Amino acid sequence: MGREDVFCVIGAGRIGLPISISLTNRGQRVVILERDEERCRMINNSESPFFEKGMQEGIERAIKNNHLTATSDSSRIMECNIIISAIGTGVSEDGTPDINDIESLVSLISPHLSIGDSLILKTTLPIGTTRKIAEDLSAASQLELDEELLVAFSPERIVEGRAMEELRRLPKIIGGIGPNSTKRVSEIMKIFGGENIVVSNSRTAEMCKLLDNAYRMTRFGFSADVASVAWRNGIDAFEAIEASNRDYERNNIPLPSVGVSGYCLTKDPYYLDAGAKELWISRGFPSTWINARHAADWQINEAIERISEELPSGGAESKIVVAGVTYKEDVDDIRMSHGVEIGEKLIERGYQVNWWDPVTSMDEILGLTVSDGPECLAGSDLLVITVPHLEFVKWSETAKELETMRTKIIFDGWGVFNNFDRDGVRYIGTGRN
């Protein structure tokens, strides 16, 4: 890597910011291009806009050393020769990938490109998008692809909560739009650490990313439907799965849960699905991973039905505490959270809902206060646990505040309680009677 390299990371989100700090931690200079001006202000004031282990210290160090600046001014791309896209993409109501934001990259960056610049796409993309963006950029900038402009897809596979450590350690898959792009981006990716895995082209690299989450989704969907079978047959799904897995190396069945949510697991299966849309229509049944997606979502309905059976009176007299508003444990991110969806559905049914979440930085959701401790259980009728925050697991060992509930019912959506056995408390859960 040359001393003169300057990175432009577009998007200071859950992916772009850890990438930027990993680079500055290794002495690189980074300009963050972020459209949210408040986020830019925070970063330039050495404040992390969200919690990620190691991030706050990294930002402080980078700003102090003059290695990091955040801006909403796209002309500053001109100062940079390596551009990394970490902006988000979405999915529309009918499951079609919504890639408007990433397509707008072309008009955003093309006026500021120079000969020899590299673009690394980290944003998760439907198959074929990297090549399309590369061709559009080449047309708009008049730079020859794979000679004057180098473009590759290198998926980001880190998880929130372990982002900094995983950026150092995980292998980096790289697929360029030509050999020069692959070679240059492979050199760049060595900065982060971890092995490089070079694949034949950008389409293959795009598919690798989608396989990660579609495969995980498929396994979780399997367990979701197992939970439904278990419940209807008076079986504890946790007991059955644990017994099947134990000392039997061909099984690795995940335990079921009330929801599989978050930004990536809800979107990426649809991106893989888009790769053969006509096939699913013509053969008359969906891809395995889209079925799994629906199966996982179905557990939310099952939970609502079972809660309604327990508290049939409904209405404002029934108070329910929804424990967990983040999409997964110990992470401060409520995007696409199943906990929030469960609360919303309970409110629609007329229940009085209180949130309990020790991890989120939100004070209020849907106009209702978020409590950070179990005191909110006082006078309530039912506790729904939606994620296994470490604090919930620790609390479950004594769970003293259960005594303060008016009606003592637990719907344990994640098997947080181990072998629940307490007089006077009704205990049910996902896959549990």
Ligand X SMILES: NC(=O)c1ccc[n+]([C@@H]2O[C@H](COP(=O)([O-])OP(=O)(O)OC[C@H]3O[C@@H](n4cnc5c(N)ncnc54)[C@H](O)[C@@H]3O)[C@@H](O)[C@H]2O)c1
Residues that bind ligand X (CB under 6 A): 10-16, 33-36, 39, 86-89, 101, 104, 108, 123-124, 156, 158-160, 263-264
| Tokens representing residue 247 in the block | 């000392």
Identity of the residue, 18 or 388, whose beta carbon is nearer to ligand X in the bound complex: 18
In 27-78, where does DSSP find H-type helix?
37-44, 55-64
Which residue's beta carbon is nearest to the bound ligand X?
13
CB-nearer residue toward ligand X: 62 or 353: 62
Smallest distance, ligand X to C-beta of residue 362, A: 15
Q: Considering beta carbons, is residue 34 or 146 the nearer one to ligand X?
A: 34
Closer to ligand X by CB, 57 or 101: give it: 101
Q: Which is nearer to ligand X, 156 or 391 (CB)?
A: 156
3-state SS, 268-279, equals HHHHHHHHHHHH
Nearest-angstrom CA–CA distance, 196 and 190: 7
Phi, psi (rounded to 5 degrees) for 279: -60, -50
* Least spacing, CB of residue 374 vs ligand X, in Å: 29
Q: What are phi and psi of 381, to 5 degrees?
A: -110, -25
Question: In whole angstroms, how close is the CB of 349 to ligand X at the nearest point?
Answer: 31
Q: Please, which residue, 35 or 219, has the CB nearer to ligand X? A: 35
Map residue 153 onto helix, strand or coil.
Answer: strand
Written as six digits, the tokens of 11 are 């998007």
Nearer to ligand X, 263 or 356 (CB): 263
Identify which of residues 108 and 365 has a Cβ nearer to ligand X in the complex: 108
Cα within 13 Å of Cα(194), Cβ side: 22
CB of 268 to ligand X, least distance (A): 7
Q: Give the span between the Cα atoms of 75 and 95, in whole angstroms.
A: 34
Element (H, E) at 118: strand 117-121
State the nearest-atom distance from the C-beta of 34 to ligand X, in Å: 5
Nearest distance from C-beta of residue 262 to ligand X, angstroms: 7
Q: Is the dihedral of CA 291, 292, 294, 295 positive or negative?
A: positive
Give yes or no for a contact between 217 and 289, defined as CB atoms under 8 angstroms apart: yes
Minimal distance in Å, beta carbon 75 to ligand X? 13
Gap between the Cα atoms of 234 and 324, Å rounded: 27
CA distances from 320 to 63, 192, 356, 387 (A): 45, 46, 10, 16
Question: Could you give the CA distance from residue 197 to residue 205 in angstroms, rounded to a whole number?
Answer: 9
What are the percentages of helix, strand and coil residues in the chain, rounded to 5?
45, 15, 40
> How do beta strands 319-323 and 352-356 pair?
parallel
State CA 78 to chain mean position distance. 31
Q: Which is nearer to ligand X, 15 or 241 (CB)?
A: 15
Residue 409 CB, nearest approach to ligand X (Å)? 34
Decide: 320 and 381 in contact? Cβ < 8 Å: yes
Q: How far is the CB of 39 from ligand X (least distance, A)?
A: 6
